[in-house]
Chains A and B, each alone.
Chain A
Amino acid sequence: MRAKLVVVVACAGLLLMVGQARAHHAFAAEFDVNKPLTLKGSLIKWEMVNPHSWFHVAVKEPDGKVTEWLIEGGSPNQLIRMGVTKNTVPIGTELTIEGYRAKDGGLKAVGRNFVLPDGSRLFLGGSAPGGTGGDKK
């Protein structure tokens, strides 16, 4: 377990040093590890943009008020190569998002996991509607 942690921290370090790895910035600088959260809501919009994509999600608070959250996800480019398009995740899709809230205190978070109503994870193992799960040659 400890070794695992070292590796991950190490990867983050590498990323900072040479701009490599799978995200282009330091997550822990943007999001607060002490503020984990789970949000349930329906998709308003998926900004398929780089360097990270952003999900706009309508979240119903316990008091019935609906607030709009912005959830950071990954670069969409590889998904697009795998066949995902802007029509793949329909507006209104119900999502459960486990993640960490932004340090600046806004209604923003990183989506550690995007989970669909059937319990599968978004864009993984062909769970994404329309996703072909591999490179087109």
Chain B
Amino acid sequence: MNRRSLVSVGILVLVAAVVLSATIAAQAPASAAKAAPAAKAAPAGKAYTPPKTPDGQPDLQGFWTNSTYVPLERPQGVTKEFYTPDEAEEAIKKAAAREAEQTEPGTTADVHYDFSQFGLDRSQSTIAKSLRTSLVVDPPDGKIPPVNAQGQKRAADRAAARKAAGGQYDSVQNMPIGSRCIIMGGAGPPMMNAGYNANYQIVQSPGYVMILTEMIHDVRVIPLDNRTQPPQGVRQWTGVSRGRWEGNTLVVETTNFNGKNAFRGASENMKVTERFTRVADDMIDYKFTVEDPATWDRTWTAEAPLAKTGGPIFEFACHETNYGIANILAGARAEEKQKAEQAKKGSN
């Protein structure tokens, strides 16, 4: 399967997922989702006072998950910002059913382990429920703004560079960053649902907030002392984050990305501003704004709540025993060899 066909499959997926979520009848999920209370927009007037750490910071500590079935962008055909509780429940049920569905034996789609046997269906762990129809809240249509000319050119350049590098399984460097155990969706910033093990541990000490992402044990140590960003020459996969408290809200600004893990096509000059506000004992309101004039003509903002979940987080060493990557490459080389031999036989 080459990259281009993968991309088209991907597009197909998005479309299909949308259509299916609207039309296919739901089967009951394998097990009931253990969901935290839905994060409605906090009703004005109902004051929640977050607990404080010994040094007086609002306390965000504990284990949290951003696992969700709410898509980043609003599905086609949905026009409202919030589902009713019943509609939201229905949407989750459908999505869970899709996730738990068994594949047809003997098809390519069937070549995997049963996710539910390893607790990896989203419905088997805590979900950060929300009535929102999309995580994106601004623009108001729930969609990421259109990519500007500069952004399109960069996307085209990136695609051309990928094409020039050859097939996806030609070398390890051609494979997806997640498969290579370099970085996954959870770390961000912004921190996005990682599909499974979408868990975080927050620990605070005077002057610092630390966020451990379960996937590939990615850690963000966010200083709160108003220090400046490092020079432009310092570029990182997760950028460099600086935090401050605005009342009960932790505001974290991140720049200095290396541009190698483009978030939705962003450039290395992307700036992400995150806001964490504890709105209930078991809920953190997590909002982020993405700013990148080199990609979008306007900023956009999403809300993806973090729900309290159970610990502990077990070490997700990834690269060390990433046998799969060697198996895949070896498999590709074996297939090539087979084909070459067959071609030789054919020509004889």
CB–CB A73/B197 < 8 A: no
The smallest beta-carbon distance between A102 and chain B, in angstroms, is 5
Task: Give every chain B residue within 8 A of A114 (Cβ-Cβ).
Answer: 113-114, 117
Bound CA span A41–B65, Å: 37
Q: Which of A4, A73, A78 contacts B104 (CB 8 A)?
A: A4
- CB-defined contacts of B118 to chain A, threshold 8 Å: 53, 73-76, 78-79, 123
| Interchain residue pairs A-B with the least CB separation, the first 5 | A19-B178, A103-B331, A10-B13, A74-B118, A104-B330
Instruction: State the total of A-B contacts with C-beta under 8 angstroms.
Output: 247
B residues sitting closer than 8 Å to A (CB atoms) are: 1, 6-7, 9-10, 12-14, 16-17, 20, 24, 30-31, 34, 98-99, 101, 103-121, 124-126, 168-169, 175-179, 181, 184-185, 193-197, 199, 214, 308-318, 320-325, 327-328, 330-335
| 7 A–B contacts, CB within 8 A, in A order | A7-B17, A22-B195, A28-B1, A49-B320, A103-B330, A108-B327, A135-B34
Q: Which residues of B contact A15 (CB under 8 A)?
A: 195
Q: Which of B9, B110, B195, B316 is within 8 Å of A21, CB to CB?
A: B195
Please tell me if A82 contacts chain B, counting CB pairs below 8 Å.
yes
- Give A residues with C-beta under 8 Å from B: 1, 3-33, 36, 47, 49-54, 70, 72-82, 99-100, 102-106, 108, 110-114, 121-125, 133-137
Provide the main secondary structure of the chain B interface: loop
Q: A10-B16, A133-B31 are in contact. Are A81 and B324 (CB under 8 A)?
A: no
Inter-chain CA distance A12–B328, complex, in Å, is 15
What would 12 more interface pairs be, CB under 8 Å, given A6-B12, A13-B9, A14-B10? A3-B16, A4-B103, A7-B16, A9-B108, A20-B193, A23-B113, A25-B176, A53-B118, A122-B117, A134-B34, A136-B311, A137-B310
Q: Is the CB of B120 within 8 A of A19?
A: no
User: Given the complex of chains A and B, what is the CA–CA distance between A100 and B110 in angstroms?
Assistant: 9
> Is A10 a contact partner of B17 (Cβ separation < 8 A)?
yes
Measured in the bound complex, the distance between the Cα atoms of B314 and A47 in whole Å is 14
B110: chain A residues within 8 A (beta carbon): 33, 100, 112
Whole-angstrom CA separation of A134 from B127 in the bound complex: 13
